[in-house]
Structure 1
Amino acid sequence: MDETRTWQTIDSERAATADLLTGLTDEQWSHPSLCAGWTVREVAAHLSLAHRIKAGTAFRAFVRARGSFNRMVDQTARDEARRPPADLVAELRGAVGLHRLAPGQTLKNALMDTLVHTQDIAVPLGIERHMPLDAAVVAADDLWRMGFPFHARRRLAGHRLVATDTDWAAGEGAEISGPIEALVMLLAGRTATIPRLTGITA
């Protein structure tokens, strides 16, 4: 995927996720997501921040988090989640067409983040959403390449991951196979989609 196509996909996913969130009940907004410790509301808040956070803001949040990236991400999402759901939806919808990356984020990171967090919301709510295959391949490559914070290659050492619905594979060893979107979630450290995979158990 080239840059134009990648941004088009991010825009499309953001718009669709905003539509999904618009139809949720108060109970669903408070439902646990696939992100440990976060409800749907915190995930939505995190997604609404990416295009708005600036370098200075990120630095202050990092200092407040005492130098912990994970703590910074958690604190900023929780702070933002205090806003009304309608505001979070409006912020996410307003991101469509605004092609800005968070400090230190690459375009592939942004695509992966959008795809994974949409599933973090949809899967536990029993809402069926599918990743575009070409975008899922880019996300899988990005997750396999990066170390922190997912460390996929280390966690899945001794296994070969093979997509059954598109041309993608990585690693060496005992085979884990299934839909590319389920592999993406596995690479991102989520276990909820493991039942869709063969060669691995939760």
Structure 2
Amino acid sequence: MRNDVWPLVHAERAALIDDLERLDTAQWETPSLCEGWTVHDLVAHRVDTAMATRLGFVLDMARARFDFDRQNALGVARARGATPRETLQRLREVATRTTAPPAPRDTRLVEEVVHGEDIRRPLGLTREYPVQAVLRSLRYQARTTASFGGAREVVARVRLAATDADLELGDGPEVSGPALALLLAISGRRVALDELDGPGVDCLAQRRDGR
């Protein structure tokens, strides 16, 4: 069902809030895995996307002259508080929203899991994600084209095999490893490549870090 993703999304937002509550001010300025964005910037991005609506997204894109990176930057500036605590409070206030831009609902879960790692990994934090959340995100990315932020073209050239879950996707040289690492790798996070094995890893290495 279309709406069954929201409990998973809300759980990830709540888990991230719990982790962020323990950070000191300096940690908020740590570079995230998204190039050019600090942890603070990326949390502001999470606030902005949680507030997004279909109409609001269209209007924001028009204001950004249909430049997606510009639209993201404007959203970060709008959602970022004067202090980390203010931004964190804003995230608390939107954590249970069920609005979204004009995109499949599973994109909300992909963003929560992948951006959760974009924040946690540079800080040395770990999370045991629900298997359902990771596998659902991985399947979505694998069937979605690169033009919509997915990795269908990459997955078509390799076979992904999770070592901690019952999942195999694609056809080609094998890439094996934890499902979370597979998700991050096909989403352009090179930091996860060291956790993967197999002759298909070089294909995934061609993906660049991204938002």
Q: TM (normalized to structure 2)?
A: 0.85
d(CA) in 1 for partners of 2:96 and 2:53? Answer: 17
Residue 176 of structure 1: SS of its match in structure 2?
Answer: strand
Q: 1:107 aligns with which of 90, 94, 105?
A: 105
Alignment coverage as a number of residue pairs: 200
User: 2:23, 2:114 → 1: CA distance?
Assistant: 19
1:71 positional shift = 2.6
2:191 maps to 192
Say if 2:155 and 2:169, in contact at 8 Å, map to a contact too.
no
1:56, CA displacement in angstroms?
Answer: 4.3
Q: Which residue of 2 aligns with 1:133?
A: 131
Deviation at residue 149 of structure 1 after TM alignment: 4.1
**Per the alignment, do residues 155 and 36 of structure 1 end up closer, same or farther by CA in structure 2, a change over 3 Å counting?**
farther
Residues 14 and 95 in structure 1, CA contact (< 8 A), matched pair in contact too: no
Structure 2 residue aligned with 1:176:
175
The superposition leaves residues 160-189 of structure 1 with CA deviations (integer Å, 9 ceiling, x where unpaired) of 111111111211111001110111111211
Tell me which of 143, 146, 160 is aligned to 1:145. Answer: 143
| Structure 1 residue 21 displacement after superposition | 1.2
How high is the sequence identity, in percent, across the aligned residues? 32
Distance 1:78 1:191, change over 3 A: farther
In structure 1, what is the equivalent of residue 63 of structure 2? 64
> Quick one: distance in 2 between partners of 1:183 and 1:89?
29
Counterpart of 1:48, as a letter, is: V
Q: What are structure 2's unaligned runs of at least 5 residues?
A: 206-211
C-alpha separation between the residues in 1 aligned to 2:94 and 2:124? 26
CA distance in 1, matches of 2:62, 2:96: 31
| Contact persistence 2:53–2:102 (CA under 8 A) | no
Shift of 1:26: 1.9
Contact 1:159–1:176 (Cα < 8 Å) also in 2:
yes
What RMSD, in angstroms, separates the aligned Cα atoms of the two structures? 2.0
Question: Contact between 2:28 and 2:38, CA under 8 Å: does it hold in 1?
Answer: yes
CA distance in 2: counterparts of 1:110 and 1:175, whole angstroms = 28
1:108-133 deviations in Å (ceiling 9; x for gaps) = 11111111111100011111113211
Question: Aligned-pair distance for 1:46?
Answer: 0.9
Q: Which runs of 4+ in 1 moved over 6 A?
A: none
Secondary structure, in 3 states, of the residue corresponding to 2:123? coil
Structure 1 residue aligned with 2:153: 154
Contact kept, 8 Å, 2:64 with 2:71, in 1: the verdict is yes
Give the distance between the partners of 1:14 and 1:90, measured in 2 at CA.
12
Residues 4 and 59 (structure 1 numbering): CA distance in 2 closer, same or farther, change over 3 Å?
closer
Q: What corresponds to 2:88 in structure 1?
A: 89
Is the 2:9–2:112 Cα contact (8 Å) retained in structure 1?
yes
TM-score, normalised to structure 1, is 0.89
Aligned equivalents of 1:78, 1:131: Cα separation in 2: 29
With CA pairs under 8 Å and 6+ residues apart, which has the higher RCO, 1 or 2?
1
Give the gaps of 5 or more residues in structure 1.
none
